[in-house]
Structure 1
Amino acid sequence: MQTQALVQAWLARLATERKASAHTIDGYRRDLAKLLRFMQTQQIESFDALMPGRMRGFIAAEHRAGLSPKSLQRLLSSCRSLFRQLTREGLITHDPLAGVRGPKVHRKLPQVLDVDEATALVEGEGEDALGVRDRAMLELFYSSGLRLSELTGLRWLDLDLDAGEVRVLGKGRKTRIVPVGRHAIDALRALGQAQGRDADAPVFRGRGGAPISPRTVQARMKTLALRQGFAKHVHPHLLRHTFASHMLESSGDLRAVQELLGHADIATTQIYTHLDFQHLAKVYDAAHPRARRKGS
């Protein structure tokens, strides 16, 4: 089978078997298109003919063309994933990336809000219908560290406000249960009273009752931050970063925060700090600035 066909077959498997998102598959497709172009210019007709020395040349050429260290690492990851699958299927007999490493990526701690800033942002909304929705949205972002796609996809049946839990569908279509703090529960109950809580209805609605779009959430957060005079660029992922940072500062429990964020690899969580582990819901209730229950 030709190299292009092998790549297309692997991308199709990602979509059907691993339930990878369209965004993820597009990223793999762009990376592997670079590899196929390199093979064509080098007159390499099969993946089995690729050797580590050639792959080092490929990475060096992309680096000279201006690809950043982070993008080069992603390119290597895409190629490794393909080569692992081809090895499992017996279509290549060696690892073309054996011993090949990309440039070191220096990861910085993401910008976050401090506790006073986060509190001012989530409490800064009015009592009209839009204000009630935005307050619930911001409280849940900060309370539970959700991704933007997880929040916009929420339906009322995903929330158990009595138990203080939300079920979210994360990356790779993996489901996880995340605690919801008291302030967010109160804001979500107010939202439910204002707009109704049909089980299958979106929690956060846009025009015509459809789920709110990611672009609308981003625009609302920018507007609210500007209205309150924030100097920082406020966006949905900033509240996720803030959630993670505040949890780690208070608890030192890296493994618990990894589970709360839905990170498959703990190395992803380590961008926030280099601390050690303990226990999940207990840590959440004790540590999160807006999760403490009444009387605790």
Structure 2
Amino acid sequence: MAVRKREWTKGPDGKPKTAWVVDYRDMAGNRKHKTFATKREADAYQLTAKNEVRDGIHVASSETVTVLQAGELWLKKARRDGLEQSTVEDYDRLLRLHIAPLIGGLKLTSLNSPKLREFEEQLRDTGRSASMARRVMSTLGSLLGDAQERGLVVRNAVRESKVKRGSRDSRLEKRAKGKLKIGVDIPTREEISALAAALDGRWRPMILTAIFSGMRASELRGLRWQDVDLDAGKIRVHQRADRYNDIGNPKSETSERELPAPPIVINVLREWKLKCPLADTGKLDATGQKIKALDLCFPNGAGKVEGLRNILRRGLHPAWVKAGITTNDGKVDSEGNLIPRYTGMHCLRHWYASFCINRKEDGGLGLPPKMVQNRLGHSTIALTMDTYSHLFPSDDDGSEMAAASDFILSPVRA
């Protein structure tokens, strides 16, 4: 392995040109070379290549691919592995709109910490939000992880950089997000009571179930009657519906869980089961008529998966407005309707979490953190605590410290 100087003349003026070439052999004994403008760059590459060849992990630039090409290979694998359509389309959108325009043409072997820092700054300078920049970097890290497995790149520079900066970035992200606030992100108990009173029709059973189970909107849309035990008062989460109304597995392994349902939910579900639209089984009876049967708990009129947008526009939002829970500015939407204070289904999940956490004397269940994690189907206890730790009651009111200090100092005072 050597660094040699190459000199030549070019152009009509005959000006001398200089370059530095690293000559070496890879793990298979094949001769490789790479050219640099300065000796310093060549020496640095020689040292890196020497160590990588020794460790059996070297990938020559001529044998790697560009970021965009690696991204296309990664997306093909995602589709082949059966990832949900919505997930693959999110990945594809991030690759096409945010990664490819800025670094799509770079070779994977050229990505290092300085390049990644420059890329992050480009993302922000071109108008991407901090949240979007984090999503893009996470996607790039997954892309490089797949390229590593294919032998197209030695190191995952994104994940190495994340390890070095992890604790600081995590603190900044939490600070930017802020804590969930009652009355802003989480409905109050009085608001939930008003909402429950305003519910009617086919939306009442679904939204009441959301309030008292903490299920995600996708889990509610995919809930089957066979997973509801009305006699035992239990609801089992085994599947969910994505944004394209396709049924698939829950969000994570821990999302598969069994939840207790209070009597009000069980009674409403019993009544709703008698009216619930039936689904087409794809079979015909002896007279040639379609055979229909109960399947989903909260389907649309045809017995199929109900769309989230429809639930919000026709069910939840009108109920919030009917209950008088609207924005304080009195603004209206494009159709002249008042705008509800809470616009998504996830606020009901947040409320259920607070209901599980609050003391019994305050009208909650007073559950410990681990049980709250199980109820919500979070993948880790850390996720539960990062999101809701400030809602857990604190017993440190100073009374125990005062009593202890009095006990310790009592002989002195005597």
| CA offsets 1:30-65 (integer angstroms, 9 cap, x no match) | 32332232224xx52x21221111011000110111
1:263 aligns with 2:378: yes
1:28 aligns with 2:123: no
In 2, Cα distance between the equivalents of 1:53 and 1:224? 52
Amino acid at match of 2:125: R
Pick aligned residue for 1:92 from 147, 153, 171: 153
In 1, Cα distance between the equivalents of 2:259 and 2:127? 40
> Computing the radius of gyration over CA atoms, which structure comes out larger, 1 or 2?
2
In 1, Cα distance between the equivalents of 2:295 and 2:134? 40
- Residue 240 of structure 1 corresponds to 349
In 1, Cα distance between the equivalents of 2:391 and 2:304? 41
- In structure 2, the CA distance between the partners of 1:13 and 1:249, relative to structure 1 (3 Å rule), is farther
1:177 aligns with 2:177: no
| CA offsets 1:77-128 (integer angstroms, 9 cap, x no match) | 11112222222333211122222556822223161112222122123334xx
Equivalences for residues 90-239 of structure 1 within 5 A: 90-97=151-158, 98-100=160-162, 101=165, 104-105=172-173, 106-108=176-178, 109=180, 111-126=185-200, 130=201, 133-168=202-237, 169=239, 170-171=250-251, 175-195=256-276, 200-219=294-313, 220-231=315-326, 232-239=341-348
- Residue 8 of structure 1 corresponds to 72
CA contact (8 A) 1:253 1:275 kept: no
Amino acid at match of 1:271: T
- In structure 2, the CA distance between the partners of 1:121 and 1:167, relative to structure 1 (3 Å rule), is same
- Residue 144 of structure 2 corresponds to 83
Q: Gaps (5+ residues) in structure 2?
A: 1-63, 240-249, 279-291, 327-340, 360-365, 393-414
Amino acid at match of 1:114: T
* TM, length-normalised to structure 2: 0.58
Identical pairs, percent: 27
Amino acid at match of 2:251: K
Q: Gaps (5+ residues) in structure 1?
A: 277-296
Other structure's SS at 2:236 match: strand
Q: Kindly indicate whether structure 1 or structure 2 has the higher relative contact order, using CA contacts under 8 Å at least 6 residues apart.
A: 1
In 1, Cα distance between the equivalents of 2:152 and 2:109? 7
Q: CA deviation at 1:199?
A: 6.4
Q: CA deviation at 1:25?
A: 1.9
Other structure's SS at 2:275 match: helix
CA contact (8 A) 1:144 1:180 kept: yes
Amino acid at match of 1:272: Y
1:47 aligns with 2:121: no
- In structure 2, the CA distance between the partners of 1:93 and 1:211, relative to structure 1 (3 Å rule), is closer
- Residue 72 of structure 1 corresponds to 133
Amino acid at match of 2:272: L
- Residue 279 of structure 1 corresponds to none
RMSD: 2.6
CA contact (8 A) 1:254 1:275 kept: no
**How many residue pairs align between the two structures?**
267
CA contact (8 A) 1:20 1:172 kept: no
* TM, length-normalised to structure 1: 0.79
